[in-house]
Amino acid sequence: MTLLILGLLLLALMALIGGERGALSFLLLLGDAFLCFLGTLLLSYGVSPAGVLSVGCLLLLVLTVPAQNGFNRKTLTVLLASAILLIPTAAVIGAVCSGAHLVGLDEFQAVQTENSYLSSGVQVNLQLIMLGSLLLGQLGGITDTGMTVVSALHEVRENQPDLPRRELFRAGMQLGRDIIGTTISTLAFIAFGEGVLLCLLYTADGYSLTVVLNSKSFFQQFGGILLSCESCLLVIPLSVWIYLAQLRSPRMNAFWARTEQRRSGGKSDGAERGS
């Protein structure tokens, strides 16, 4: 009941402050939650974790970016940057998890499972499950950082269309530097807020620093946040470069010009029919 009240309060605030787009964002949030639930259900029925991960990330990207902001030069930039960045990120996470044997339940989760008389014999590839959970944790930060930088850079370009490409790149990097501090701080505060109890348990039980740093639970709590911070840093120059590459491409400029013309024509036709 409490979750329902908080959800309705969130919907009311998003609709009140964000208007129509805020209400749409809430619906898309429900869609993201449904996709995550559906992915978990498919995994429980033995569907390939790699397939669920690939399709799930693609659908979440489509729901998160174009459905909220429309399909335009900015959203295409963020989609491409996020997709390109997720590939090497997945490789790094997979190598780290494999080399450190970070699979399965951590120490505290295993004890909780045994104490609750639950079966821990999950018949899936737990390494891919951890890879998917860490990638999903980064997806939101990557798209948010990329969209913030590209939207601000797009406004700079709209107000100063004659600005040289080199100056636009510098402006984009400066915009990234302006927001990266708060982005990293936000991710760090989330990790510290969720890890306070974990740190208290480590301290109370007298764990050494070496044991803590090599703990699965510690890595799952803070390693994912560090990877997210690094991905948010890398998406800034990548997004700026992709946006400027579109500006340099005559084909892309012609494509967006035709797209904008069709949109303007559709609005004009609708206005004439309405009158």
Q: Average pLDDT of 67-91?
A: 86
Read off the pLDDT of residues 99-124 as tens digits, 9 standing for 90 and up: 766 665 555 555 544 444 444 555 66
Q: Average pLDDT of 235-256?
A: 89
- Out of 58-67, 94-103, 169-178, 256-265, least confident range: 94-103
Q: Average pLDDT of 61-78?
A: 84
pLDDT at residue 211 tops 50: yes
pLDDT of residue 188: 79
DSSP the chain: -HHHHHHHHHHHHHHHHHHHHHHHHHHHHHHHHHHHHHHHHHHHTT--HHHHHHHHHHHHHHHHTHHHH-SSHHHHHHHHHHHHHHHHHHHHHHHHHHHTT--S--HHHHHHHHHTT------S-HHHHHHHHHHHHHHHHHHHHHHHHHHHHHHHHHH-TT--HHHHHHHHHHHHHHHHHHHHHHHHHHHHHHHHHHHHHHHHTT--HHHHHT-HHHIIIIIHHHHHHHHHHHHHHHHHHHHHHHHH-HHHHHHHHHHHHHHHHHHHHHHHHH-
- Out of 21-25, 163-167, 169-173, 271-275, least confident range: 271-275
pLDDT of residue 271: 40
pLDDT at residue 44 tops 60: yes
Q: Average pLDDT over the chain, rounded to whole?
A: 78
pLDDT of residue 113: 47
